[in-house]
C-alpha cells in the first residue's frame, strides 16, 4: 500500500462507500490521507485499472470490469484530516524515510483528471520510484471531461490560494528538509504563479529541491516570464517537452497557434536561462498514443526524476549520459535519442 497525503479544493460528492470528490469547487482547502493498493502483478510504469467502455464526450460508461485489488490499483482507505492530524502523520512518514531521507514530493495534476485518477498517478510514481518519503497530491477541481477545457483552465487558476496554502504547509511545517514539486500539463500554470508569489516569503535559507515541469500547457511567453521568476526558489528546474504530444498540439490550436511551453515546434523548444529543457519526443514514437504523460509513463523519464530527487546532478547529460546536448544560438537543451525497440 502507498500512503498519499492530499489537499484539494474540490467539493465532495455522494458516495455511500467512502469519501469522494467531484469537479465542483469547494472554495476552501480540505486535507486528507489515502492508502492506495498496488497489485503484485504491477508492471512499471502502468496504472492497472478495470477495463471499461465509455462513450466519449458524454461520459457514459457502457461496461466496466469489476475492481480487483489483485489486478488493479484501488483505494483501500481515505480519511479527511484536521490540520494537526495531517501534520502529525506527514511528520511521522518523513521521519521514517531512508532512501529519500527527509524528503517530500508534491504532485499537481493536469487537465481532464478526476480525483481518483490523480491519486492513482501519485501512488504509481511514488511506488515506481521507490520513494519512501512523503508523497503529497494537490487536486484542483478538474471537470475530467474532454469537453471541459475552458472550465478546467479557469478552475485551475481559481485554485491558486488553496494550492499556495497547501505548499506552504508542506514546506514550512511537515519537517521535510527537501521538498520537490512536480506539475503536469494545466497544473503548471497555478503552480508557477504560486511559486512566483510565495517565493519571497520563504524563510531565509529555505529553497525547494527540484521543480519539475512536465508538458506545461502554458503559453510560451507567459511561461518564460513566470519561469524566470521562480528559478531562484529551487535548487534546479527541469522542463520536459515533446514534439508528438497530441494534447499540446490541440491546446496550441485552441490558443490561436501559439505554441505551449510543453510543445516542441519546428523552431525548437522554449529555452529559459537557468532551466534545463529536455526534449523527450523520442521516448515514444507511437503515433496512436497521446504522448502527454510521458514523464510518468516511460521508465527512462521516471529514472531521471528519481535521480533528480536523489542527487540533483546537472547538467542533465551528467546523470543521463545518453542525452544529446543540442547547441542553439538561444542556448542549449537536451534530447533523448531514438532507441529502437
How does pLDDT run across 41-79, given as a tens digit for each residue?
999 999 999 988 876 655 677 788 899 999 999 999 999
Task: For residue 311, give the 3-state DSSP assignment.
Answer: helix
Name the nearest CA neighbour of 81 among 8, 160, 2: 8
Which residues make beta-bridge pairs with 63? 53
Render pLDDT for 90-114 as a digit per residue (tens, 0 to 9).
Answer: 999 999 999 999 999 999 999 999 9
Per DSSP bridges, beta strands 60-64 and 52-55 are antiparallel
Per the prediction, the chain carries an average pLDDT of 92
pLDDT at 237: 97
pLDDT at 138: 98
pLDDT, tens digit (0-9, with 9 covering 90-100), for 154-198 = 999 999 999 999 999 999 999 999 999 999 999 999 999 999 999
Question: Which domains occur in the chain, in start order?
Answer: 2-38+74-335 (3.40.50.1820)
pLDDT confidence of residue 285: 63
Burial class for 122, CB neighbours closer than 10 Å (0-12, 13-18, 19+): buried
How large is the average pLDDT for residues 236-256?
A: 92
User: Span 86-92, mean pLDDT?
Assistant: 98
With cell 533528480, the residue in question is 308
Q: What share of the chain is helix, strand, coil (3-state, %, to 5)?
A: 35, 30, 40
Amino acid at each position: 500500500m502507498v500512503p498519499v497525503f492530499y489537499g484539494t479544493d474540490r467539493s465532495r460528492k455522494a458516495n455511500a462507500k467512502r469519501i469522494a470528490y467531484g469537479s465542483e469547487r469547494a472554495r476552501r482547502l480540505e486535507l486528507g490521507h489515502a492508502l492506495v493498493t498496488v497489485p503484485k502483478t504491477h508492471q512499471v510504469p502502468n496504472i492497472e485499472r478495470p477495463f471499461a467502455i465509455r462513450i466519449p464526450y458524454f461520459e457514459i460508461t457502457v461496461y466496466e470490469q469489476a475492481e480487483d485489488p489483485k489486478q488493479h490499483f484501488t483505494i483501500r482507505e481515505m480519511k479527511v484530516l484536521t490540520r494537526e492530524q495531517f501534520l502529525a502523520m506527514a511528520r511521522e512518514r518523513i521521519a521514517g524515510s531512508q532512501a529519500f531521507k527527509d524528503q517530500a514530493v508534491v504532485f499537481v495534476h493536469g487537465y481532464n483528471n478526476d480525483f481518483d485518477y490523480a491519486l492513482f498517478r501519485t501512488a504509481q510514481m511514488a511506488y515506481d520510484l521507490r520513494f519512501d518519503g512523503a508523497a503529497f497530491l494537490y487536486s484542483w477541481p478538474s471537470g475530467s471531461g474532454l469537453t471541459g477545457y475552458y472550465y478546467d483552465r479557469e478552475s485551475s487558476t481559481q485554485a491558486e490560494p488553496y494550492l499556495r496554502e497547501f505548499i506552504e504547509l508542506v514546506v514550512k511545517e511537515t519537517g521535510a528538509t527537501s521538498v520537490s514539486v512536480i506539475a503536469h500539463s494545466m497544473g503548471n500554470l497555478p503552480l508557477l504563479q504560486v511559486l512566483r508569489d510565495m517565493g519571497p516569503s520563504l524563510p531565509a535559507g529555505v529553497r525547494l529541491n527540484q521543480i519539475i515541469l512536465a508538458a506545461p500547457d502554458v503559453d510560451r511567453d507567459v511561461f518564460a516570464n513566470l519561469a524566470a521568476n521562480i528559478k531562484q526558489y529551487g535548487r534546479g528546474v527541469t522542463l520536459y517537452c515533446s514534439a508528438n504530444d497530441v494534447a499540446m498540439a490541440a491546446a496550441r490550436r485552441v490558443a490561436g497557434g501559439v505554441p505551449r511551453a510543453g510543445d516542441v515546434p519546428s523552431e525548437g523548444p522554449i529555452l529559459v536561462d537557468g532551466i534545463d529543457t529536455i526534449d523527450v519526443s523520442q521516448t515514444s514514437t507511437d503515433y496512436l498514443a497521446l504522448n502527454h504523460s510521458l514523464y510518468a509513463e516511460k521508465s527512462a523519464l521516471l529514472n531521471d526524476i528519481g535521480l533528480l530527487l536523489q542527487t540533483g546532478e546537472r547538467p542533465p547529460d551528467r546523470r543521463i549520459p545518453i542525452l544529446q546536448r543540442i547547441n542553439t544560438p538561444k542556448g542549449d537543451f537536451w534530447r533523448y535519442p531514438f532507441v529502437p525497440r
